Amino acid sequence: MNEYQQLDQQSHFQTYKRLPITLSHGKGARVWDVDGREYIDMLAGIAVNALGHAHPALVHAIKNQVEKLIHVSNFYLTAPQARLSARLVKLSGMDRVFLCNSGMEAIEGTFKAARKFAKSQGKGGPILSMEGCFHGRSLAGIASGKEKYQQGFEPIPGGFRQIPFNSREAVEEFVDDQTTAVIIEPVQGEGGILPADPEFLHFVREKCDRHGTTLIFDEIQCGIGRTGRMFAWEHSGVKPDMMALAKGLGGGVPVGAILAREDISAALQPGDHGTTFGGNPLACAAALAVLQTIERDGLVAQAAEKGAFLMKELQAKLGGHPLVEEIRGLGLMVGVALKTDGAPVVRAMAERGVLANAASLTVIRLVPPLVISEVDLSRAVDVLREVLEEQGDVEGKSA
């Protein structure tokens, strides 16, 4: 244990199961720890560092903005906020944006806006979420999510109900004229990298339209080019009424966004919702640099191409492996579902110089920077194969 880990254990809430690694710096898709050891970053801060580490465009934008303004509050407008708002509206084809600080705040905002809009329409029913979903760890977030995240935090806020993911029958049964909203991740992240069935999304859209129900997409993890489209909903062509963004939007700088239809956004009047730090000029300058770089360098198309390469590598080297249940995903959002606990695999990969993590306990989540090379992708797959072969040998001997 190094001095930083000792300080962490003495001072910080012990809410994270950290690997015994203290990172120092990074470049592109590589990071180094304080001992000088190098790693291929297949996690990217959990799908956050879209441009990798220390990207020149992002570094320049942050340095330039720091010398001008960092924060002014939302009593005043700044040019970066106005420009980012306009850019997101144009990219998404939606009407309005509310800028905040994180995915959790974006989700809270979508819930508040959906409820206020529903009340204006005479609706008082629940917000429906999907089994296996993850919408953050706020009280409303866990109320919409897995039961394991609710334990110990009772009483849980009401007004939420979970239904089976990808089930047209459940949507048919539970969406009615009183339903406030339906929230879906087009690709479930924490749930194990599970893409929504396009036909299911079309059915939900039709059902919501029929009953005047707000359809919310949580694109916090799967948005901003991650799946090979700027937004994951573009794969199906099913456009939501509201959308939550964060993670990759700031490339590592905390920023979130809610995008909405005009009438839904209008339900929130001055004083109904707000943020002190959200939309600050530093975060907005960073997000603008991320979006500009993604578009200029063709990183959305690269995510699709590199994702296809990664899937091909995984299928060639791990397809049919006795410990592999399934390989799935879209673009550079890929999951390798195992028949065994993922935590030991993640630790062993880190020891071999590759950073990843396990979603839903058994799914190795691979969400690298969009700028990663095919050489690094191939090496990461080789390391995963080596670890699984070693794991298989251990399990075979203990059987």
Which residues have a catalytic role annotated? 134, 218, 247
Side-chain half-sphere CA neighbours of 262 within 13 A: 2
In three-state secondary structure terms, 155 is: coil
- Please list the residues that pair with 218 across neighbouring strands: 244
Alpha helices in the chain (DSSP H): 3-11, 44-47, 56-66, 79-92, 103-120, 139-143, 168-174, 198-211, 262-265, 281-296, 299-318, 343-351, 374-398
Distance CA 329, CA 331 (A): 7
Q: Which two tokens stand for residue 312?
A: 């091909």
Of 231, 205, 201, nearest to 333 (Cα)? 231
Neighbour-count burial of 292, counting CB atoms closer than 10 A to its CB (0-12 exposed, 13-18 middle, 19+ buried)? middle
User: Which residue type is seen at 68?
Assistant: K
Distance of CA 160 to the CA centre of its chain: 21
- Note whether 188 and 130 are within 8 A (CB): yes
Of 285, 252, 249, nearest to 68 (Cα)? 285
- Note whether 379 and 303 are within 8 A (CB): no
User: Which residue type is seen at 135?
Assistant: H
Q: Which two tokens stand for residue 204?
A: 């939900």
- Please list the residues that pair with 98 across neighbouring strands: 258
Distance CA 133, CA 145 (A): 6
